[in-house]
């Protein structure tokens, strides 16, 4: 598989600390496959095993679970060179309880588990990168937890509004509301307050 230079830039963006080059890491750039999804298409569903590790080329994807009442509870978004996929299921190859859905038409680069593993075997510097990235993911989740626990709905709304990334500005508000752990009604009322 030959990637275009645009796709190579996306991978470089996603793996920034690795200082990748096509010459030094040929395997890395050879094995990614392209794939694309339509609006509202599922990338994966609860009960299924995650086969791939994805990097988003374009579009917005959302990850959520269904709670006891069947409501979607949004845990995060992916876009612009960020990772997507159900991580625990991918790592352990066990059925997950997450859904990933493409909110806009999206293009991705993906690799499967054995390719993912072979990167780590072939490029030890990948392990270092993996450690650092996962440490940051962990710290980021703790920070989100603190915001959910200590801030009021209004405060969460305000903090989020200030740093809302561009690609999320055109998706339905109900998903942002869910991500902020509030109902669409509450989100709408906070919005009216400006």
Nearer Cβ to DNA (74/182): 182
Question: Judged by CB under 7 A, does residue 72 bind DNA?
Answer: no
Answer with the entry of DNA, its own copies, none that 186 interacts with (C-beta below 5 to 8 A by kind): DNA
Partner whose binding site includes residue 158, from its own copies, DNA, none (CB under 5 to 8 Å by kind): none
Q: Does residue 134 belong to the site contacting its own copies (CB under 8 A)?
A: yes
Residue with smaller CB distance to its own copies, 107 or 113: 113
CA distances from 16 to 4, 10, 70, 122 (A): 18, 10, 38, 18
Among 120, 154, 172, 185, binds its own copies (CB under 8 A): 120
Q: How far apart (Å, rounded) are the C-alpha atoms in residues 140 and 61?
A: 19
- Residue 170, φ and ψ in degrees, nearest 5: -110, 10
CB-based contacts of 98: which residues, under 8 Å, 6+ apart? 44, 46, 63, 64, 65, 75, 86, 89
Out of 88, 93, 122, 185, name the contact with its own copies by CB under 8 A: 88
Least Cβ distance, residue 117 to its own copies (angstroms): 11
- The residues, ordered by sequence, that sit 6+ positions from 136 with a Cβ below 8 Å of its Cβ are none
**Smallest distance, DNA to C-beta of residue 91, A:** 31
CA-to-CA distance for 27 and 178, rounded, in angstroms? 40
The verdict on 181 binding DNA (CB under 7 A) reads: yes
Binding site for DNA (CB under 7 A): 69, 152-154, 172-174, 181-189, 191-192
């Amino acid at each position: 598989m030959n990637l275009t230079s645009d796709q190579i830039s996306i991978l470089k963006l996603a793996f920034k600390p690795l200082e990748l080059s096509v010459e030094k890491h040929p395997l890395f750039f050879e094995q990614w496959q392209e794939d694309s999804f339509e609006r509202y298409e599922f990338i994966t569903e609860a009960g299924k095993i995650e086969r791939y590790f994805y990097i988003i080329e374009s579009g917005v994807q959302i990850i959520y679970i269904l709670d006891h009442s069947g409501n979607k509870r949004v845990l995060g978004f992916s876009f612009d060179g960020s990772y997507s996929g159900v991580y625990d299921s991918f790592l352990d190859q066990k059925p997950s309880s997450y859904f990933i859905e493409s909110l806009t038409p999206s293009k991705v680069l993906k690799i499967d588990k054995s390719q993912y593993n072979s990167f780590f075997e072939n490029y030890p510097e990948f392990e270092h990168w993996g450690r650092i990235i996962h440490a940051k993911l962990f710290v980021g989740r703790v920070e989100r937890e603190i915001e959910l626990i200590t801030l009021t709905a209004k405060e969460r709304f305000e903090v989020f509004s200030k740093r809302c990334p561009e690609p999320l500005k055109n998706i339905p508000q109900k998903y942002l509301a869910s991500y902020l752990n509030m109902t669409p009604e509450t989100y709408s009322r906070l919005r009216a307050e400006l």
